[in-house]
Chains A and B, each alone.
Chain A
Amino acid sequence: MTTSPSDLAVVGAGPAGLAAAVAAAGLGLSVILLDAGERPGGQYYRHPAPGLGATRPEALHHGWSAFASREAALRAHVSAGRITYLPHHHVWTVTPDSGESPGWTLHAVAGPDEDPATVRARAVLLATGAYERQLPFPGWTLPGVVGAGGAQAMLKGGLVLPGSRVVVAGSGPLLLAVAGSLAAAGARVPAVVEAAAYTGYAAHAPALLRNPGKLVEGATYGGALVRHGVRLLTRHAVTEAHGTDRVEAVTVARLDRDWRPVPGTARRIPCDAVAVGHGLVPQLELATGLGCATRPSPDATVALEVDAGQRTSVPGVWSAGETGGIGGAQLALVEGEIAAHSVAGRPVPARLARTRTRLRAFAAAMAGAHRPGPGWTGWLREDTDVCRCEEVPAGRIREAVEDLGARDARTVKLLTRAGMGWCQGRMCGPAVAALAGTDPAPDRRPLSCPVPLRHLAALPAEPPAALSPELP
């Protein structure tokens, strides 16, 4: 396909990418918007497909109008030919163009038949969002144990619940939203089990007080939980899930300041599902493949380094939303608009800049409060699978670290296969890094999704930088 390059290619149609595409088209740029999913909205504005006939999809969301107005604008820009919207396109690598006209080629796998697709653009905006952080515990591979965000995604997109009595556990503000949705949709939620102490927020009173909207949102969730009879247990964790073919109960224990389970505090809660998650991890493989600089975040994840105009360290590549640090849908919308102005060479409106600063401060306060304590590994047993794909138990990882001298996740991976399976370490990465005693390294995966070999074979002779072999 040799079409002339667009001004801007946006990867991801979540709040950040959608807001960016619409704003950029409004500023006169020609835009291509690619998304792996079927409908715009990303993780936050995930909603049932039209065939499901929901008349009130907004019942599962806060701030639906912010999405509805941008979706309407997207449709208008698509009709007018200003935006090319490509749903069901999973971008697996981005390569710089050589030659006179500097720009980028994006390679995607398209549609159910996994057809190859390439598009070209002068600038790229990476708005690929995040996935959930998981900390393993005995029994977490039992059917019925699902991601908290995953349960939310399945409910918002497919109108289904994993069970009728669901314990929500882990850490972070998403748990309250998930518990509220599950309860509103008819599940019984006996408890929300939060590993952090909300007193962690007190240290950040100024950031909280400058965000009254966020406090109201929290209070709304709180109120809904009380109405549905949901108990909030802070400084507690699910330390084991019980069952044979599926989960039947969980053990919940109190944690000390370092998240170590306190002996003698365990109790059992019967349930038929567990929705668990410990916050989110920015999804960076396309960006790190291009060499974009990263920074550690206060929640012990790694995010992209961006400037006030959402530029990454690589000229011509921008980022917005959770790729630049976990911060919520509202921040993602604002950053998308900032990026659009910056790509178009316009000054960033002061209002947007101020809102970004305020919401980022709030995000940092929350991230610090929910950062996993080092003692969580105390609830692992030697035979607890840490890597779900390759079924590598904690004991083998500890052996690699203690007996074989592995000092980082990469060496552990080579010695044990943890992180070498289908998910490429997305599920076990943070846990393996913790067991190896290091901070998590930025996402490095040569391909961001499975790519049929015939697409690789069809690439030009020069291998893209992202595919060149890397030494451990």
Chain B
Amino acid sequence: MSEAMRGRRRSPRDLVGGTAAESWSLRFDDRELPAQSGQSIAAVLWSAGILAWRTTRETAAPRGAFCGIGSCYDCLVTVNGRPNQRACLVPARPGDHVTTQEGTGHDDLAV
């Protein structure tokens, strides 16, 4: 296998060929992450090796994408200030600022 000889594993990209139309970076908390047009926010995070971006309300346990199709709500994230967005469904857009979500995402409203 030629990839193996070059010392590199196959990638999803090798499988489907081509190159992304556009790449830019997305702000995630204080980091800049490389993003490609057409990826969901969850896909951008997974590409960067980030699997958790939320903590739960009861035990502050880390969570990220689980079902990948919008039914588990484990991947909730705050996008441009709007909390409780499902990262697996929301397409990443240039200029997005994604922030980790704690608890219900409405901590600012707590009294």
Contact = CB atoms under 8 A, between A and B. Distances in A.
A50 B64 contact: no
Contacts of B91: 38, 49
A286 to B, nearest CB: 14
A149 B69 contact: yes
A121 interface: no
Given A421-B73, A423-B71, A159 B43 contact: yes
Contacts, number: 160
A155 B12 contact: yes
A391 B10 contact: no
B42 interface: yes
Interface string A148-183: 011111110111111110000000000000000000
Contacts of A422: 73, 76
A280 to B, nearest CB: 11
B16 A391 contact: no
Contacts of A159: 12-13, 16, 39, 43
B51 to A, nearest CB: 4
B16 A150 contact: no
Given A49-B37, A52-B37, A426 B56 contact: no
Contacts of A391: 56-59, 61
Interface in A369-393: 388-391
Interface string B29-49: 000000011111011001100
Contacts of B39: 49, 52, 158-160
Nearest to A277: B67
Given A38-B91, A184-B10, A186-B14, A50 B43 contact: no
A112 interface: yes
A150 B68 contact: yes
Interface in B58-98: 58-59, 61-74, 76, 84, 88, 90-91
B36 A52 contact: yes
Nearest to B16: A54
A171 to B, nearest CB: 17
B73 A146 contact: no
Contacts of B70: 36, 449
A186 B11 contact: yes
Interface string A416-452: 0000011100110000000000000000000001100
A51 B22 contact: yes
Given A159-B13, A162-B46, A185-B11, A50 B63 contact: no
Given A157-B43, A186-B9, A50 B72 contact: no
A454 interface: no
B7 interface: no
Given A184-B10, A185-B11, A388 B16 contact: no
B2 interface: no
A91 to B, nearest CB: 13
A53 interface: yes
Given A53-B20, A390-B58, 12 more contacts: A52-B36, A52-B38, A57-B16, A143-B64, A146-B68, A150-B66, A154-B46, A245-B52, A246-B62, A389-B74, A391-B56, A450-B84
6 contacts: A50-B38, A60-B16, A246-B52, A246-B62, A388-B66, A427-B71
User: Which 6 A-B pairs have CB atoms at the shortest separation, nearest pair first?
Assistant: A158-B43, A150-B68, A51-B37, A49-B38, A51-B38, A422-B73
